[in-house]
Amino acid sequence: MKCQPTASHFINGQYVEDTAGDVIECVYPATGEVVAKVHSATPAIVDQAISAAQSAQKEWAKLSGTERGRVLKRAAEIMRERNHALSELETYDTGKPMQETLYVDATSGADALEYFGGLAGSLTGEHIPLGEDWVYTKRIPLGVCVGIGAWNYPTQIACWKGAPAMACGNSMIFKPSETTPLCALKVAEILMEAGAPAGLYNVVQGYGDVGGALVTDERVDKVSLTGSAATGKKVYAAAAAGMKHVTMELGGKSPLIIFDDASLEDAIGGAMLGNFYSTGQVCSNGTRVFVQKGIKDAFLKRLKERTEAIKLGDPLDEDTQFGPMVSRNQRDIVMGFVERGKAEGATLVTGGNAIDGDGFYIEPTVFADVTDDMTIAREEIFGPVMSVFEFETEEEVIARANDTDLGLAGGVFTNDIKRAHRVIDLMDAGTCFINSYNDAPVEAPFGGVKGSGVGRENSKAAIEHYSQLKTVYVRMGPVDSPY
Ligand code: NAD
């Protein structure tokens, strides 16, 4: 098999197998071919991973931040050197075209390792003078962290969670999505090569039950999930029962508002990026595109032309712009939404078909005349389906944009600078864009409000979620006790 790893899990610095676990087939989404098989973790494997992470963490936390950072930065360099091979594996794992994976997967993973490696040496507490006494605070690790990934960005998610955790002196057990189990193993291998101690970064495979076993183990101190809002509620509740720290990066139904003074080509480019990149499988996508009445017809005409010119095809061909859905199941879910859209009266502008063959392809799809109560307007589709809504006034569109339980992202296209900031200020969203969409540099906090999650990934903000403060009061004079 093309992508078969040495073994299913990576624990305590080496590949580990336990064939007693259920078989998970890794299917290449472009052809339906099985490219690898791994086994789901048994309770013995989960226990082994947690024990390894626990002992590695104690030693790792004793290193200086600069020493820890050096390992992460070396890992970033190795990832960049191997970008081509890692991108190919990402393409086999997810079906995303090489035109994307070469630029945004291992590279953004390396960015996170480099950025948090750079920060590791400057994670300090503060000194608080109180007359002759004083307080100092120390920034200390949380302990053993569990990362649970979604299937859309397996390398990036493994690094976005691992890099800040390790920079702060924690260890990590990462459970990739069962749909994309391969890439995180390479991240673990590279970290070992870069000098990480055995047990610092472990990977265990499995479905939700394995995630559940990790979340409820009392030796685990923190859980960071990237997944759907429904899974987030379950994982958050399970973590709360053990009073664990959490980061929840969940789904969205984000609005993209386009005013009639916007540059039409830029706005269309932003809307296409925010709906069709990674075949629409991006949590922060701007799937509700509100277009002001005056430019709606011109917008739709040009959007249709540009969408129909998208080059769909073999993801390994670097000219291909648009690959298949990650799995047959996800394709069927998305096609179900397309059918609901048609049945509930939205106008199909282009696309709307699954493509015959063994791969899981769907055409990039645009619906117009979508109303706020339609299923495609309310539920996260997680596929290449753009819904276009018409609006007239700023006040009206803000109210409609915020009428959702989710709040991951949002964007506005306008050339009126005051309006841009006014609209963004009123938008219920954690990650916003002005005249752009879906940029996610490691320097900027990323995350949602409302049902889209808690905590932030990336940037200095992530440090808050992978460390805690110890406060120390120091008295210089006598203790004034009434007893
Ligand atoms: P999912 O919720 O089905 O699964 C996510 C992960 O959780 C998987 O690894 C799964 O095995 C695990 N899991 C499931 N049940 C669990 C349980 N009870 N306990 C512990 N772990 C459990 O999500 P998915 O289908 O893999 O990914 C798509 C979803 O992820 C979308 O909703 C998307 O918006 C969201 N997502 C969010 C972000 C973000 O950063 N906000 C990024 C990518 C994807």
Q: Is 135 helix (H, G, I), strand (E, B) or coil?
A: strand
Q: Whose CA is nearest to atom 15 of ligand 1?
A: 208
Among all residues, which ones are annotated catalytic?
161, 249, 283, 457
How remote is the CA of residue 225 from the centroid of ligand 1, in Å? 7
Gap between the Cα atoms of 52 and 169, Å rounded: 15
Q: Whose CA is nearest to atom 12 of ligand 1?
A: 208
Q: Whose CA is nearest to atom 16 of ligand 1?
A: 208
pLDDT single digits (tens) 119-172: 999 999 999 999 999 999 999 999 999 999 999 999 999 999 999 999 999 999
Q: What is the pLDDT of residue 435?
A: 98
Q: What is the pLDDT of residue 274?
A: 98
Q: What is the pLDDT of residue 361?
A: 98
Q: Which helix (H) or strand (E) holds 448?
A: none
Query: Across the strands, what pairs with 431?
Result: 409
The first and second tokens of residue 257, run together, are 């508002």
Q: Whose CA is nearest to atom 23 of ligand 1?
A: 227
Question: DSSP code of 22?
Answer: P
Cβ–ligand 1 contact at 204 (below 6 Å): no
Gap between the Cα atoms of 176 and 158, Å rounded: 8
pLDDT single digits (tens) 86-128: 999 999 999 999 999 999 999 999 999 999 999 999 999 999 9
Cβ–ligand 1 contact at 174 (below 6 Å): no
Q: What is the pLDDT of residue 414?
A: 98
Gap between the Cα atoms of 64 and 67, Å rounded: 5
Q: What is the pLDDT of residue 483?
A: 96
Q: What is the pTM of this model?
A: 0.97
Gap between the Cα atoms of 149 and 160, Å rounded: 10
pLDDT single digits (tens) 446-469: 999 999 999 999 999 999 999 999
Q: What's the mean pLDDT when you consider all of the chain?
A: 98
Cβ–ligand 1 contact at 381 (below 6 Å): no
Q: What is the pLDDT of residue 310?
A: 98
Amino acid at 355: I
Cβ–ligand 1 contact at 429 (below 6 Å): no
Q: Is 12 helix (H, G, I), strand (E, B) or coil?
A: coil
Q: What is the pLDDT of residue 279?
A: 98
Q: What is the pLDDT of residue 442?
A: 98
Mutate to test the pocket of ligand 1, among 148, 224, 385 (most ligand atoms within 8 A of CB): 148
pLDDT single digits (tens) 266-288: 999 999 999 999 999 999 999 99
Cβ–ligand 1 contact at 407 (below 6 Å): no
Q: What is the mean pLDDT of each run of 10 residues along the chain (483 residues)?
A: 97 98 98 98 98 98 98 98 98 98 98 98 97 97 98 98 98 98 98 98 98 98 98 98 98 98 98 98 98 98 98 98 98 98 98 97 98 98 98 98 98 98 98 98 98 98 98 96 95
Cβ–ligand 1 contact at 208 (below 6 Å): yes
How remote is the CA of residue 59 from the centroid of ligand 1, in Å? 31
Question: DSSP code of 197?
Answer: P
- Which residues contact residue 361 at a Cβ distance below 8 angstroms, ignoring those fewer than 6 apart? 30, 312, 323, 324, 325, 331, 354, 355
CA Rg, the chain, in Å? 23
Nearest in space to 446 (alpha carbons), one of 289, 268, 254, 291 = 254
